[in-house]
Amino acid sequence: MKLDWITPAERLSALPPYVFARLDELKARAREQGLDLIDLGMGNPDGPAPTPVIEAAIAALNNPANHGYPPFEGTASFRKAIANWYRRCYDVELDPDSEALPLLGSKEGLTHLALAYVNPGDLVLVPTPAYPAHFRGPLIAGGKVHSLILKPEKGWLIDLAAIPDEVARQAKILYFNYPSNPTAATAPREFFEEIVAFARKYEILLVHDLCYAELAFDGYQPTSLLEIPGAKDIGVEFHTLSKTYNMAGWRVGFVVGNRHIIQGLRTLKTNLDYGIFAAVQTAAETALQLPDVYVHQVQARYCRRRDFLIEGLGQLGWNIPKTKATMYLWVPCSVGMTSTDFALDVLQKTGVVVTPGNAFGVAGEGYVRISLIVECDRLAEVLRRFKQAGICYSTEALVSSSD
């Protein structure tokens, strides 16, 4: 029987195609052709979770008490570990019962927050380029997304002064993310002070995604929204264990901040999921308590890769400033080439996967994102293939290869 009498709900048709899924098809085709792919497309860290985390998970797995449904609101000890971590990292006090909520990864929480707070037609401010969940969540909820165009000449910072007064008045939520995926931009503390003042003035809920809290280099320490006085009245902040602790497959993250906002998200989630496997929460708790030396090793690893690739791309004509944080380089395509054409060209000629910038919204056009998720010997191979295939940065308009 054909299913042509049923169509997906309208909320799905509001979504632009998920570029990563399309990239997956192209990768599969390239693999069939026998190409040795080097995948720098996804933000999927390489390597295992830290040994103490794995050991804690195994011990927790051997305890049958963990095998049943976990508590909806997360285990008390994970929530306490979150509050302790915030005190240690940011000198911010959190009530573990009402101001911290474990999530099945931050993507889940970022999207569900929109379902919990956005009515059809509500206005949500989202930068472009941005991490896709920041605009896809509001779109699924039926919200209207007002894009805040980020520009290289502003250091990819949101230009708050450029937001029209009537837009700010109507806006209900503003999503933002520094250190940024995909641009790798960072925001100074003064920016956080300005955005808190802006949100308080216009009564806008601030949703800050701090997934790269620890992936910062050269002594740079990212700012937490909650460090800013008054931020907890109007904001929440999301974290993940995926990146720093190589736990992307474990699906664990958390949100902290305003208790009323967190209560709304908790209420929605009680109707959707049963929380995170308790053994995974034990593992996450262990990760947050690792000694600083672990995080320093992770930072050194990404720093090494960053320096290596920036140097090598420099020899191919790209002038990429040193990034202060994240696991990405945000690289301009040759002048006149679209992101998609450039990424396809690179994939076809070299077997290297990079993400077209338009996956992150219209203002990502003209760029690609390269993830630093392989060791320097593989990055050397990337550079070798680029050189051989004539992939370089050119300020002269090129004719795109797909013509």
Ligand X SMILES: *Cc1c(COP(=O)(O)O)cnc(C)c1O
Q: What is the DSSP letter of 65?
A: G
Binding ligand X (rule: CB under 6 A), the pick from 66, 75, 106, 183 is: 106
Cβ proximity to ligand X: between 240 and 334 the closer is 240
C-alpha–C-alpha distance, residues 180 and 156, integer Å: 9
Report CA torsion sign: 109, 113, 116, 121: negative
Assess 237 for contact with ligand X (CB under 6 A). Answer: no
Cβ proximity to ligand X: between 240 and 323 the closer is 240
Binding track, positions 37-66, relative to ligand X; x by CB under 6 A: ------x-----------------------
Q: What is the DSSP letter of 321?
A: P
Cβ proximity to ligand X: between 181 and 350 the closer is 181
CB atoms within 10 A of CB 284: 29
Cβ proximity to ligand X: between 168 and 236 the closer is 236
Instruction: Compute the least distance from the CB of residue 198 to ligand X, in Å.
Output: 21
Assess 240 for contact with ligand X (CB under 6 A). Answer: yes
Assess 306 for contact with ligand X (CB under 6 A). Answer: no
Instruction: Compute the least distance from the CB of residue 363 to ligand X, in Å.
Output: 16
Distances (CA, A) of 231 to 66, 175, 224, 260: 36, 14, 10, 13
**Which DSSP string do the residues of 93-109 spell out, in sequence order?**
---TTTSEEEESSHHHH
**By CB under 6 A, which span of 58-66, 115-123, 241-249, 346-354 interacts with ligand X?**
241-249
Cβ proximity to ligand X: between 43 and 366 the closer is 43
**By CB under 6 A, which span of 53-61, 105-113, 338-346, 381-389 interacts with ligand X?**
105-113
C-alpha–C-alpha distance, residues 80 and 389, integer Å: 53
Cβ proximity to ligand X: between 209 and 345 the closer is 209
Instruction: Compute the least distance from the CB of residue 307 to ligand X, in Å.
Output: 21
**By CB under 6 A, which span of 9-17, 165-173, 235-243, 393-401 interacts with ligand X?**
235-243
CB atoms within 10 A of CB 325: 25
Binding track, positions 118-157, relative to ligand X; x by CB under 6 A: -------------x--------------------------
Cβ proximity to ligand X: between 353 and 391 the closer is 353
Residues 182-211 that bind ligand X (CB under 6 A): 209, 211
Please return the burial class of 225, using the count of CB atoms within 10 Å of its CB with bins 0-12, 13-18 and 19+.
Answer: buried
Cβ proximity to ligand X: between 223 and 334 the closer is 223
Distances (CA, A) of 53 to 282, 287, 290, 323, 340: 8, 6, 9, 29, 39
Comparing CA positions, the residue from 20, 43, 38, 339 lying closest to residue 181 is 43
Distances (CA, A) of 349 to 39, 126, 203, 403: 14, 35, 50, 15
Assess 214 for contact with ligand X (CB under 6 A). Answer: no
Cβ proximity to ligand X: between 106 and 224 the closer is 106
Which SS3 state, helix, strand or coil, does residue 126 take? strand
Instruction: Compute the least distance from the CB of residue 4 to ligand X, in Å.
Output: 35
Which SS3 state, helix, strand or coil, does residue 268 take? helix
Phi, psi of 356 (to 5 degrees): -65, 135
**By CB under 6 A, which span of 103-111, 138-146, 213-221, 229-237 interacts with ligand X?**
103-111
Number of alpha helices (DSSP H) and beta strands (DSSP E) in the chain? 14, 12
Tell me the number of residues near ligand X by CB under 6 A: 14
Cβ proximity to ligand X: between 44 and 98 the closer is 44
**By CB under 6 A, which span of 50-58, 117-125, 146-154, 237-245 interacts with ligand X?**
237-245
- Asked if 216 contacts 183 with a C-beta cutoff of 8 angstroms, the reply is no
Amino acid in position 125: L
**By CB under 6 A, which span of 120-128, 242-250, 280-288, 339-347 interacts with ligand X?**
242-250
The residues that touch ligand X, with contacts defined as CB under 6 A, are 43, 105-107, 131, 177, 181, 209, 211, 240, 242-243, 248, 253
